[in-house]
Every structure is written in structure tokens, then in C-alpha cells.
Amino acid sequence: MWDSEAAREGAAPRAGMVLPLAALFTLGLGAFTLAALPQTTPGYMDAEYYLAGGMRLAQGYGFSEPFLWNYLDDPAGLPHPSHAYWMPLASLLAALGMWLSGEVTFTAGRLGFVLLAAAVPPLTALLASRLSARRGAALLAGSLALLPAFYLPYLPTSDTFGIYMLLGALWLLAAGRPSFALQPVLLGLLAGLMHLARADGLLWLALLPLAGWLLEGEHRSGGPACGTAAAVLRFSALGLAGYLLVMGPWMLRNLAAFGVPLAPGGGRTLWLTAYDQLYAYPAGSLNLQTWLAAGPAAVLQPRLEAAGLNLQTALSVQGEIFLAPLVLAGLWRLRRQRPVILGAAAWLLTFAAMTLAFPFAGGRGGFFHSGAALQPLFWAVVPAGLDAFLEWGRRHRSWEPERSRPVFGALIAAAAAVLTLALYYGRVIGKPGEPLWNQAAARYAQIEQTLAAQGAAPDDRVLVNNPPGYYLVSGRPALVIPSGDLDTLLAAADRYGARYLALEIDQIHGASELFENPRDHGRLDYLGTAAGAVLYEILPGGE
């Protein structure tokens, strides 16, 4: 619910926000383009997966992939229907850039991601202006979105961070407007796009009844009130219709490809009792019975650990450490505002899902990813938190808020700049020489050269840690090394026709010598090492 007095006071400032918003977009476009320049590769598996999916679409192969990074949906073979675990919107955005440019490259594929990232600062500023009704608040919030700390390395690459920030900001902006006829449909459409970007986007659909309860109640009474059950039901049904306009076609595709409306890979992760089981083969071993048989400790301990890790992410990433007190103070100060109410509910739902339902994915980056949708809100409430701090200073230290606000605002922006540059340098640049960001792809290029020199044909399949990344570098079909012992690895290799193995770490249970003291071993013919990886040829069974 918008504060009516703030809305009256903020009408004039918002009318004059067009040029500042345009300036923030232009600055964002420049900043994220500069950040992208050292990143000549996607950088990590998630981004590589989405880019590979976009390339396959642009090349006319449809939603298919010549690699397997998990076995959760019990794949029949290669090529395999794509996006059985991750959602397709980032791949569609990458393909769009390639179609428009006529080039099937990483540079073309990430054009849309850079543009979406540039739109986040003005949207954050607009959200702040609607919450705090001050141009200065909008500019401070927009500046924080220009200096996004932990998120800067990930916004210009082919991942969902920028998509999720943009859609989260739009959802909260749309939910914060006074009630209008197509509002539930619009919120449903946005929730559908969020689900098409990430599986946890479904949680934003679950917020529709709460949004309807707040909006319909205000519309009926002209002020803060609750909607009737019938009004909330109608609102939610219209929102569901909007959601299905987006997700309906994808559900039909999944029915054709997998026999179920939602991709089957994610469901089995409910039954993990260890992170490495994400790569279990065969995946049928992951079920409710084995989960319960693992015992209470195996079920509870990962969730306690995930709660701790996710709280650390909330403090360090979402609160950027030094901003956390201002974010909390701002949320409390604006607690009656509808976007804050809905944002807090979204955060609680996301935290619960990434702690209780998916603790392994959540604690290892899932909460970092899904929390991006709420980051514009956290930046937008910082000015209100600063106002609360300055009012405390006025009462206890005789500060003059109007004079102190620009000084503290500048200090906050400067601290965000220092933190952002330090994090970016450590994650992307690293030591002098080849940027750290690109080194994983360079290692795979060396491994591929060695395999080719050993006589590997272009269609020979290889078992590696990161199949999408290896495929992008080499064009070679690749499969993930399954968790388990050597028999498990050989069973997967036989079923999917893998001829080569590239061990980058000691990861085969009970066979440490394969990495630490490499030599011929049974059906594994030692070929040598490359870029720190130990290479083997997998001989056919019976030899």
C-alpha cells in the first residue's frame, strides 16, 4: 500500500525523474559493458549451460543438448532434451542476441544480458522514488544498483541474475500500484516469466493471494484493509491465467519431452542427503524411501548448515555487510508499504525453500541466485534506513539531517564502489596474466588439444566435471562424472558411450590412485596429463 502523503509529496519529483532514469540506464550500460570486457567466456557451469542452450537454439537444433551434466531424469542418451533441470529463459535471451546479430558467439549471446543489467539501476531508482518520494533517495538507490558488489561479475554473463533483478523490480512496482483491471494478469505474467527463468520463480505465483488480499481490500475501502475471500480468489484466478499464458507452452513442451508438465530433474533433488548425489547414477536411487532411511541426522544436519549459509548470504551479499543495518531499518520504516510487505513475504518463502526443501542447492548458490529478485528492493530501502539513522543522530547528536544526508549518501556510494571493485577484481581478474574468469575454459582447451593429439574423434564422448563448459570449448559431446565408485563410472560410460575420462580432482570413491598415481587400471588406459587433469581412455567392456 502506498503512503498517500508520500505519494502526494513525490508526484512532482517522479515527474522529473525521466532524465535521471535515462542517465542511470546509460551509466549502467557503460559500466556493465566495461565489466564484460575481460570476460571472454561465460565463466562457470550455470552460465555455460544457458549459453550452450542458446547456441543450440540459434543453430536450429531446438531444445536439445549434446551433453549431460546430471542423470536426474534418467536420460535415454545423447542428444538429450534440454532444460530438464534449469529453466529456459536465459537460453532464449542468449539465442535472441545471436539471431539479431547473426553470430553464434558468447559476445552476441550476452548482449541482452548487458541490456537487462543496465535497466536494473533505473528500475531500482523508480522503486525507491515510489517508496520514499524523494529524488535523492532514488539516485542513491540507483547508484547502489550501479555498484552491485557481489553481483557485478555475474550480471554481464549469460545467467539469470539480471533477468531476475529486472523481473523482481517490475513485479514489486506493479504490485505497488493502486488497483487496476489488468493488475492480477500482469503480476501473473511476470510470475510466469520468473518461473521461466528459474524454478523458484514459482514462489512468486504463490504471492498472488497475498497481493490480492492487500490490493482488493484497499480498492474496496479506499485505504488499508483486507480483501474478501471472493475478491482474493478472483484476483488469484486472473493471475494464474496470466502465469499460464507464459508457462503453458513450456509445460506442453515438457509433456511432449518428459511426460510431465514441469521438468523432472529438479524433483529428485528433494531427496538428496549429500551434495554429490546431485550427480548420482542411476538417479532412481534418490527417492523418499532412501531419504527417510538415511536417518534424522542426515536429514536435519544439511538444513541447519543451509540455514547458516543462507543467513551469511543475506548479510554479506544481500546486505553487502555495511548496508545490512540500513536495509533492515529501511524495511522497518517502510513496513506498511505494499512492496515491502510482499518483498518480505517473498524473501521468507525463498529462504524457506532454499533451506528446507533444497538445502544443498540453496546453500551452494541457489539462495544467492534466487535472492537477486529482491536485491532492487533492498537497495531501494537503503535511503529510508539512512533517514532513520539521521533522525537518531538529530535526537542524540544534534545532527541536521538535510545537511548530513548528502554527505552520508556519498560515503555509502563510495563504500559500495570500493567493495564492488575489490570483489570484481578478485573474482574476474585475479593475478596478472589471463583473467581468472577465463582460466577454466583455457584449461579445457588444453585438455581437448591433448585428446585430439591422442587420436580422439570429434564425436567421441568424454566424462568431465563440467560438460556444458567442455562442450562450448570443444564441440565434443560430454557427460558429467557420476558420484560413486569406479564401477558406477564404467556403468555410466557404457550406457552413454563415453570413450574418454578427464579427472580434474580425486573424486572416484575407492580409487584415489587414478588421480594421485595415474597408470593403466583395468579398463582405463592412462594417456597422460593436461592442464592438471589426468586423462584416460575407457576401453570397451570385456577387454
Same domain, 118 and 98: no
For residue 26 the three cell numbers come to: 546509460
Same domain, 444 and 349: no
Establish if 268 belongs to a structural domain: no
Same domain, 183 and 118: yes
Task: Indicate the residue type of 529.
Answer: T
Which residues have CB under 8 Å from 7's CB, separation 6+? Answer: 133
pLDDT band at residue 17, thresholds of 50, 70 and 90? confident
Map grid coordinates 539471431 to a residue.
Answer: 99
Closest CA to 416 of 90, 99, 41, 31: 31
pLDDT of residue 100: 97
DSSP 64: E
Same domain, 118 and 95: no
The percentage of residues in the chain with a pLDDT greater than 90, rounded to a whole number, is 85
Note whether 436 and 429 are within 8 A (CB): yes
The total number of residues written for the chain in this structure: 543
pLDDT band at residue 158, thresholds of 50, 70 and 90? very high
Same domain, 336 and 421: yes
Report how far residue 464's alpha carbon sits from residue 450's, in angstroms, rounded to the nearest whole number: 14
Domain closes at, from 393, 428, 463:
428
Establish if 83 belongs to a structural domain: yes
Name the residue range of residue 413's domain: 4-42+110-258+275-428
Establish if 267 belongs to a structural domain: no
For β-strands 80-81 and 64-65, DSSP reports them as antiparallel
Note whether 157 and 472 are within 8 A (CB): no
Same domain, 69 and 138: no
Q: Which helix (H) or strand (E) holds 535?
A: strand 533-538
pLDDT at residue 354 tops 50: yes
DSSP 436: G
Same domain, 374 and 334: yes
The percentage of residues in the chain with a pLDDT greater than 70, rounded to a whole number, is 95
Report how far residue 480's alpha carbon sits from residue 493's, in angstroms, rounded to the nearest whole number: 10
Report how far residue 126's alpha carbon sits from residue 142's, in angstroms, rounded to the nearest whole number: 8
Q: Which helix (H) or strand (E) holds 350?
A: helix 338-352
Report how far residue 232's alpha carbon sits from residue 214's, in angstroms, rounded to the nearest whole number: 9
Establish if 393 belongs to a structural domain: yes
Rounded alpha-carbon distances, angstroms, from residue 498 to 12, 123, 387, 483: 65, 48, 61, 16
Establish if 354 belongs to a structural domain: yes
Establish if 197 belongs to a structural domain: yes
Report how far residue 194's alpha carbon sits from residue 373's, in angstroms, rounded to the nearest whole number: 9
φ, ψ for residue 207 (rounded to 5)? -80, -10
pLDDT of residue 174: 97
pLDDT of residue 542: 58
Lowest-confidence range among 183-187, 449-453, 539-543?
A: 539-543
406-423 pLDDT, tens digit per residue, is 999 999 999 999 999 999
Average pLDDT, integer, range 481-506: 96
Same domain, 420 and 495: no
For residue 408 the three cell numbers come to: 552520508
Q: How many CB atoms lie within 10 A of CB 353?
A: 21
Helix ranges (DSSP H) in 37-146 = 45-58, 89-101, 106-109, 111-132, 135-146
Q: Assess whether the previous peptide bond of 75 is cis (omega < 30° from 0).
A: no
Task: Indicate the residue type of 351.
Answer: F
Report how far residue 319's alpha carbon sits from residue 421's, in angstroms, rounded to the nearest whole number: 17
230-275 pLDDT, tens digit per residue, is 899 999 999 999 999 999 999 999 999 999 999 888 888 999 999 9
Establish if 224 belongs to a structural domain: yes
Note whether 67 and 479 are within 8 A (CB): yes
Domain closes at, from 74, 109, 144:
109
Report how far residue 123's alpha carbon sits from residue 145's, in angstroms, rounded to the nearest whole number: 9
Report how far residue 492's alpha carbon sits from residue 304's, in angstroms, rounded to the nearest whole number: 33
pLDDT at residue 374 tops 50: yes
pLDDT of residue 219: 57
pLDDT at residue 2 tops 90: no
Strand partners, 536: 501, 526
Same domain, 289 and 361: yes
pLDDT of residue 218: 66
Note whether 413 and 140 are within 8 A (CB): yes
Report how far residue 78's alpha carbon sits from residue 468's, in angstroms, rounded to the nearest whole number: 13
135-152 pLDDT, tens digit per residue, is 889 999 999 999 999 999
pLDDT band at residue 504, thresholds of 50, 70 and 90? very high
Same domain, 38 and 83: no
Rounded to the nearest integer, the mean pLDDT of the chain is 93
Residue 8: exposure state from Cβ atoms within 10 A (0-12, 13-18, ≥19) = exposed
For β-strands 498-503 and 67-68, DSSP reports them as unpaired
Same domain, 144 and 86: no
323-335 pLDDT, tens digit per residue, is 999 999 999 999 9
Closest CA to 116 of 148, 138, 84, 149: 148
pLDDT at residue 216 tops 80: no
pTM exceeds 0.85, yes or no: yes
Domain closes at, from 109, 141, 160:
109
Same domain, 310 and 400: yes
Structural domains in the chain (count): 3
pLDDT of residue 397: 82
Establish if 433 belongs to a structural domain: no
Note whether 167 and 197 are within 8 A (CB): yes
Helix axis angle for 401-424 and 135-146, nearest 10°, is 10
223 φ/ψ sector (left φ>0, alpha ψ -120 to 50, else beta): beta
Average pLDDT, integer, range 307-327: 97
HSE at residue 109, side-chain half, CA atoms within 13 A, is 30
